[in-house]
Structure 1
Amino acid sequence: MQNHLVISAIAPNRPGIANEITSLVTKCGCNILESKMKSMGDTFSLILMAAGEWNSIAKLEHTLPSKASSMQMTTMMQRTEIQQPKPELPYRVKIFSLDNPGITQEITHFFTDNGINIQEMSCNTYPAQHTGAMVGATKLTVSIPTSLQVSKIREKFRLFCDKTNLDGEMKPIGQD
Structure 2
Amino acid sequence: MSSQLVISAIAPDRPGIAHEIISLVTDCGCNITESKMKAMGNTFSLVLMAKGEWNALAKLEHILPNKASSLGMTTMMQRTGPTEPRKELPYRVKVIALDYPGISKDLTNFFADQKIEIQEMSCNTYPAVQTGAMIGSIKLTVGIPSGSSVSEIRERFNKFCAKTNLDGNMEPIAQ
The normalised TM-score by structure 1 is 0.98
Aligned-pair distance for 1:46? Answer: 0.2
Residue of structure 2 equivalent to 1:120: 120
CA deviations 1:10-45 (Å, max 9, x no partner) are 000000000001000000000000000000010000
Alignment of 1:3-82 (within 5 A): 3-82=3-82
Equivalenced residue count is 175
Unaligned runs of 5+ in 1: none
Distance 1:31 1:148 in 2: 37
- The code of the aligned residue for 2:91 comes to Y
Distance 1:49 1:128 in 2: 36
Distance 1:150 1:82 in 2: 28
Aligned-pair distance for 1:115? Answer: 0.5
Distance 2:125 2:70 in 1: 33
Distance 1:2 1:46 in 2: 22
- Secondary structure at 1:29's aligned position in 2? coil
- The code of the aligned residue for 1:170 comes to M
CA deviations 1:52-86 (Å, max 9, x no partner) are 00000000000000000000000000000112112
Distance 1:86 1:8 in 2: 24
Runs of 4+ off more than 6 Å: none
The normalised TM-score by structure 2 is 0.98
Residue of structure 2 equivalent to 1:132: 132
Between 1:143-152 and 1:46-55, the stretch displaced more is 143-152
- Secondary structure at 1:142's aligned position in 2? strand
Percent identity between the aligned chains? 69
CA deviations 1:82-136 (Å, max 9, x no partner) are 1211211000000000000001000000000001000000000000000000000
Residue of structure 2 equivalent to 1:159: 159
Residue of structure 1 equivalent to 2:150: 150
- Secondary structure at 1:72's aligned position in 2? coil
Distance 1:9 1:162 in 2: 37
C-alpha root-mean-square deviation of aligned residues, in Å?
Answer: 0.9
Distance 1:96 1:174 in 2: 22
Distance 2:34 2:87 in 1: 22
